[in-house]
Structure 1
Amino acid sequence: MNPRNVDLVRIALGVLAADRSVLRKAGGSSWNAREFELTVEVGDPTVWTLHAEHLAGTVGFLSGDHWSFRFTQAPEAGEAGLPIEEQHHDRTILLSGGADSAAGALLSAVELGEDLSQSLVSQYSSTAISPVQQGIVGSIPELVPGIRQVHHQFHLHRGSKRLDGSSFRSETSTRSRSLLFLALGLAVAERAGSTLWIAENGFASLNPPLGPDRRGSLSTHTTHPRFLRELSDLMEGSGGHGLIENPFEALTKGEMFRRVADAVGSDTASTYLSNTNSCSHTDARYSGAPVGSSCGVCFGCLVRRAAFIASGVSDTTTYLVNDPDSRYNTFVRQKSIVEPLRDFVDRGVRARDVMAMSLPEGYTAQDALALSQRGVEELRGLF
């Protein structure tokens, strides 16, 4: 594998471990940005030192913190790796288990058709997501006969104990998870000789803040077009494989769902998309809910519910907020952003909001405003 892509996985693991282990202080529109100095072992410290400032800026934009990096020489591998048969795949796709990534994997398979192949890459820390990912992968060949695909599933998370046996503190925001996901995807794409698809609706990628108190890293940049372009430029500039594409950058979630329905029919789209998980919270099980439950009131769930309505595709997802016995009311109240979202929809996205989105070169403010307004209009269907 290209050694720069190996290094990016090492860097991403270090970033995520640091991000998970240093608590943010509550309050403030900047969400109390933290200062990180991270030392990472890499294959060629000289190359990465040249790109350290670019890396720090890219990771800082993602997490909303201030980063600096120092690189040391990684030890030589103790053993030779097992021989790997060369495999070319026409496309590599990130598959998180959410509705957007599932839509992307299915639409890619439809586009590629018979006798072409795709490589699907999943990463999870919560074991509840693993069967969701596997279920999506298993259903694609049933819907697109003849498509060839391989699924790479990675189970990676920071341990609970430090080397001295004491417990790590755990920061729950972890905006840097997407860096590891993309690093793993690019590593697989490099071996497959293909571009990496990250399928995310453009409205969520821009993620206009719900209010003045949700700027900075509280409004996630995990698939923001600027972040994706900067990461791609970083990898290409350092000699690694960095071809990343979001083919749905200009679409809302509802528009993505409509494309799935057009490809396989509304009833099939309903079943396929309802079996995904878009919930931001994986801790409902501690409140007695079934593993992998969807709350129905977080940003991911609300945008998902609005997308089903806007696309005309039936939503058969079970949401905890709709539990007939109200067993999860306490959990739902703690997670709900319904009121902030209602205020956001009433206010709408304005031109000045777009100017604060840090759009990359070539992404016009007019396009971002039009997309955001379509996204808000979809959300309006909930209220």
Structure 2
Amino acid sequence: MGGIRMTQLIFHHEHHHLPLANDNLLPVQLYGLSGQKRGDISIIGNSVIDKIRRLGVQIPVQIMDFLSIALAVTAADTFVQRENSEDGWTRQLSLRLPLNEPSRWISLKKELESALHFLSGDIWNFEFCNGGYAPPEPYSKHSRFDLIKIKGIDCVSLFSGGLDSAIGAIDLLAKGRTPLLVSHAYKGDKSRQDQIAKKLNGHYSRFEINADPHIYQGITDITMRTRSLNFLAFAVLGACAVQEVSQQEKIDIFVPENGFISLNAPLTSRRIGSLSTRTTHPHFIASMQNIFDLIGIPCQITNPYQFKTKGQMVSQCLNKKLLSEVVESTVSCSHWKRKNQQCGVCVPCIIRRASLYVGGINKDADYTFQPLIKVMNEIDRRDDLSALRIAIAQKSILNIGTWIAKSGPLPTTTFENFKQVFKEGLDEVESYLISENII
């Protein structure tokens, strides 16, 4: 790895503790609370402290430190461009970060670096030191600030504005659960999340929060492979408040994602690296659960749909009438922010369209490219569609177990279930592509 250029990021919540920027060193102000007084500092987490205070409870030190780590990782992932690395993909990132209890995290440094390497494909190195930002004093219920409603909440669920997360919320409410729906509320995502939430039936509360990264100069990287770490950190904040009020021993954090996308096995041999994200891969989730258990974060991360395809999630949704009412507000596309419209031809869009087809829901969002048959004649747009066709053609030839293992380690006890959901996911897409005269 000696040939890979290393970028060092140094973090602090006080700008005067940060060194001057140079070509290989990026100073980043965490939480950005003391105001920007220098032109060479990037900022992340500007609005986060106010959001934490609105939970109305004192956050434990280990959870505050985990949030600082997650924000630092998001900063590195956002501010350091992949294209500047030697191979155009793998970055070597060194992060110096003050924590409240660095000794607790130093013992887990290797586990954390390994989990992040799996998640993003980069080489991570952490240096933890003293002087971290302490948990902020919560607002009281008598203050002028609106507090997040926590009383009566019994679990946390990630609520992104996607189809899977909408089904996750609908199912929990149908079962009589009272979730705190946690959202990473980026500007475009927030309006979609609000539209879906307004139509939900049952008792729930919402916690919306934004990492809000700002780079001092240059452009940001858009691959955002580590976004799920930040999402988990926000969920943990909410779960900590729920635990404090409900006095439960462990709080469930639900990560609603269909098993086919969660596995995200490479569709073709050339898609192993850059095109196979691992944001909710079972190995990453298990790695984070292990870190939570060792550090004393009382949460249980669960993907209730790990062995269901997206189509099965749609078909078996506990309130399909409500699902058909919100489906047009949900987003699955990996490119939608460019034009605020879903493309219809990326892998997530095609899997979404297949799931609604097999799930019997006729309503859907507008797509930039509506009839798929036309896309087959466009060389620059048919890449994902072609990859899915190749995968479908190979599912009866290739060893499915070997295939899914390429996406990362999987537990042997449930390996057959992973094979099953992957095959059924491809079967679903095949049925849809036949209906569209693509196969």
TM-score range, shorter chain: 0.7 to 0.9
1:216 to 2:273 alignment: yes
Inter-partner Cα distance in structure 1 for 2:382 and 2:65: 37
Corresponding residue number in structure 2 for 1:289: none
3-state SS of 1:67 partner: strand
1:249 to 2:313 alignment: no
Unaligned runs of 5+ in 2: 1-58, 142-146, 244-250, 434-439
Inter-partner Cα distance in structure 2 for 1:3 and 1:360: 32
3-state SS of 1:320 partner: coil
3-state SS of 1:321 partner: coil
Identify if the C-alpha distance between structure 1 residues 189 and 77 changes in structure 2 by more than 3 Å, giving closer, same or farther.
Answer: closer
- Asked if the contact 2:266/2:406 (under 8 Å) is kept, the reply is no
Identify if the C-alpha distance between structure 1 residues 7 and 135 changes in structure 2 by more than 3 Å, giving closer, same or farther.
Answer: same
Measure how far apart 1:339 and its partner are: 1.7
- Asked if the contact 2:105/2:128 (under 8 Å) is kept, the reply is yes
* Bigger relative contact order, structure 1 or 2 (CA pairs below 8 A, ≥6 apart): 1
1:89 to 2:153 alignment: yes
Q: TM-score, normalised by structure 2?
A: 0.75
1:157-212 deviations in whole A, cap 9, x for unaligned?
A: 311x32xxxx1332111100111011101111121122111100011100011212
Corresponding residue number in structure 1 for 2:238: 188
Equivalent of 2:108, from 28, 48, 51?
51
Measure how far apart 1:75 and its partner are: 4.5
1:67 to 2:117 alignment: no
Unaligned runs of 5+ in 1: 142-146, 286-291
1:326-378 deviations in whole A, cap 9, x for unaligned?
A: 9x99x995586212222222222633212323234355332221111000001
Identify if the C-alpha distance between structure 1 residues 217 and 6 changes in structure 2 by more than 3 Å, giving closer, same or farther.
Answer: farther
Measure how far apart 1:238 and its partner are: 0.9
Corresponding residue number in structure 2 for 1:156: 211
Measure how far apart 1:32 and its partner are: 3.3
Identify if the C-alpha distance between structure 1 residues 76 and 297 changes in structure 2 by more than 3 Å, giving closer, same or farther.
Answer: closer
1:270-292 deviations in whole A, cap 9, x for unaligned?
A: 2222321111113432xxxxxx3
Q: TM-score, normalised by structure 1?
A: 0.85
**Paired residues, what number?**
357
Corresponding residue number in structure 2 for 1:321: 369
- Asked if the contact 2:159/2:182 (under 8 Å) is kept, the reply is yes
1:295 to 2:335 alignment: no
- Asked if the contact 2:305/2:313 (under 8 Å) is kept, the reply is yes
1:375 to 2:425 alignment: yes
- Asked if the contact 2:358/2:428 (under 8 Å) is kept, the reply is yes
- Asked if the contact 2:188/2:337 (under 8 Å) is kept, the reply is no
Corresponding residue number in structure 1 for 2:358: 310
CA RMSD of aligned residues (A): 2.8
Inter-partner Cα distance in structure 1 for 2:84 and 2:263: 24
Equivalent of 1:280, from 334, 338, 355?
334
Identify if the C-alpha distance between structure 1 residues 230 and 321 changes in structure 2 by more than 3 Å, giving closer, same or farther.
Answer: same
1:103-131 deviations in whole A, cap 9, x for unaligned?
A: 0000000012xxx5211100033x22111
User: Max radius of gyration: which structure?
Assistant: 2
Identify if the C-alpha distance between structure 1 residues 68 and 316 changes in structure 2 by more than 3 Å, giving closer, same or farther.
Answer: same
- Asked if the contact 2:156/2:182 (under 8 Å) is kept, the reply is yes
- Would you identify which runs of 4 or more consecutive aligned residues in structure 1 move more than 6 Å? none
3-state SS of 2:364 partner: coil
Inter-partner Cα distance in structure 1 for 2:290 and 2:231: 17
Equivalent of 1:347, from 389, 394, 405?
394
Corresponding residue number in structure 2 for 1:34: 91
Inter-partner Cα distance in structure 2 for 1:97 and 1:336: 26
Inter-partner Cα distance in structure 2 for 1:153 and 1:300: 24
Inter-partner Cα distance in structure 2 for 1:297 and 1:27: 29
- Asked if the contact 1:33/1:65 (under 8 Å) is kept, the reply is yes
Measure how far apart 1:226 and its partner are: 0.9
Measure how far apart 1:24 and its partner are: 2.0
Inter-partner Cα distance in structure 1 for 2:424 and 2:268: 18
- Asked if the contact 1:201/1:249 (under 8 Å) is kept, the reply is yes
Corresponding residue number in structure 2 for 1:10: 68
Inter-partner Cα distance in structure 2 for 1:117 and 1:258: 23
Higher helix proportion, which one? 1
